[in-house]
């Protein structure tokens, strides 16, 4: 594994590179960094040069400007610059959650860079019947965060999306896992302060995405969360089948080997 940083406007992006072969970029979702993709990478690096990175303001990708409201468009430009650093041609891209939304914007803005995008459970409030209610809810959660802190706001998000939260770092866990969980917990604060409200207001460019090489995918197990429902609506708008990947929203953590195998099938066009 090689690692380094890439200077972009307003941030230094920490990245890792594993394996060899055609480039596959993995874009993390809210709070996710390269550590949560580690076991998934193990199942992909024999087929691909797998590039992962911490999104700006998260984990080891420090901001070089003062923090402010984050925009999906700026994060997509980061992904564009990361790809440009590692390949001159089109690459395959996988993103989950916010990472999938970033991937959709990357594909719409820089179609020449993307051979195929697997968009795993993006959340696009604008595709749901009540987008303004969703956005008002995120505004309320942001206000709750400012009043009562991370735990109270996270509890509301967990209730809203039916997700689990990472365990609190413990000395009983291996050192690298403790360090990764500590980073993820600090990312929660950045998400609640600077990403939650602005990301919910992003509108995907459906016209640019129709006919583009995108594969909407969702978790095959568990309740049909807002992530799943949004992805199903996206697939319908684009006239594409909704493909399923193992487990739920965090399937790449819950069952990484099985998830990697299924992901390779999608990347190969199965």
The DSSP secondary structure of 163-191, one letter per residue, reads: ---PPPP-TTS-HHHHHHHHHHHHHHHHI
Spatial separation of the C-alpha atoms in residues 201 and 197, rounded to whole Å: 7
According to CATH, the topology of domain 2-125+203-267 is Rossmann fold (3.40.50)
Work out the number of other CB atoms within 10 angstroms of the CB of residue 227. Answer: 24
Strand, helix or coil at 88?
A: coil
Spatial separation of the C-alpha atoms in residues 110 and 98, rounded to whole Å: 18
- In the prediction, which pLDDT does 169 show? 47
Q: Tell me which DSSP letter residue 225 carries.
A: -
One pLDDT digit (tens) per residue for the chain, 270 residues: 899 999 999 999 999 999 999 999 999 999 888 988 988 999 999 999 999 999 999 999 999 999 999 999 999 999 999 999 999 999 999 999 999 999 999 999 999 999 999 999 999 999 999 999 999 999 999 999 999 999 999 999 988 887 665 555 445 545 666 777 788 888 999 999 999 999 999 999 999 999 999 999 999 886 688 999 999 999 999 999 999 999 989 899 889 999 999 999 999 985
Cβ neighbours for 150, distance < 8 A, ≥ 6 positions apart: 185, 188, 189, 192
- In the prediction, which pLDDT does 180 show? 76
Work out the number of other CB atoms within 10 angstroms of the CB of residue 10. Answer: 15
- DSSP letters, 232-250, are HHHHHHHT-PPEEESSSTT
- In the prediction, which pLDDT does 149 show? 95
- In the prediction, which pLDDT does 176 show? 65
Of residues 173, 57, 53, 41, the one with CA closest to residue 103: 53
Strand, helix or coil at 229?
A: helix
- In the prediction, which pLDDT does 184 show? 83
């Amino acid at each position: 594994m090689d690692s380094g940083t890439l200077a972009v406007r307003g941030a230094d992006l920490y990245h890792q590179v594993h394996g060899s072969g055609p480039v596959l970029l993995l874009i993390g979702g809210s709070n996710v960094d390269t550590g949560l993709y580690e076991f998934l990478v193990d199942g992909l690096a024999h087929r691909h040069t797998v590039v992962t990175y911490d999104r700006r303001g998260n984990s080891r990708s420090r901001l070089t400007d003062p923090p402010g409201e984050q925009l999906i468009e700026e994060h997509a430009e980061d992904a564009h610059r990361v790809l440009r650093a590692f390949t001159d041609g089109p690459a395959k891209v996988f993103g989950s959650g916010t990472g999938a939304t970033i991937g959709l914007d990357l594909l719409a803005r820089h179609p020449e860079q993307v051979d195929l995008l697997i968009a795993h459970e993006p959340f696009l409030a604008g595709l749901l019947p009540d987008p303004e209610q969703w956005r008002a809810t995120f505004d309320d959660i942001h206000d709750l965060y400012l009043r009562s802190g991370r735990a109270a706001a996270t509890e509301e998000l967990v209730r809203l999306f039916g997700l689990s939260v990472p365990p609190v770092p413990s000395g009983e866990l291996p050192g690298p896992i403790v360090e990764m969980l500590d980073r993820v917990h600090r990312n929660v604060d950045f998400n609640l302060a600077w990403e939650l409200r602005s990301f919910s207001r992003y509108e995907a460019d459906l016209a640019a995405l129709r006919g583009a090489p995108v594969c909407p995918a969702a978790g095959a197990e568990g309740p049909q969360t807002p992530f799943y429902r949004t992805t199903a609506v996206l697939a319908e708008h684009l006239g594409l089948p909704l493909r399923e990947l193992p487990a739920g929203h965090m399937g790449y953590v819950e069952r990484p080997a099985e998830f990697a195998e299924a992901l390779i099938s999608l990347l190969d066009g199965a």
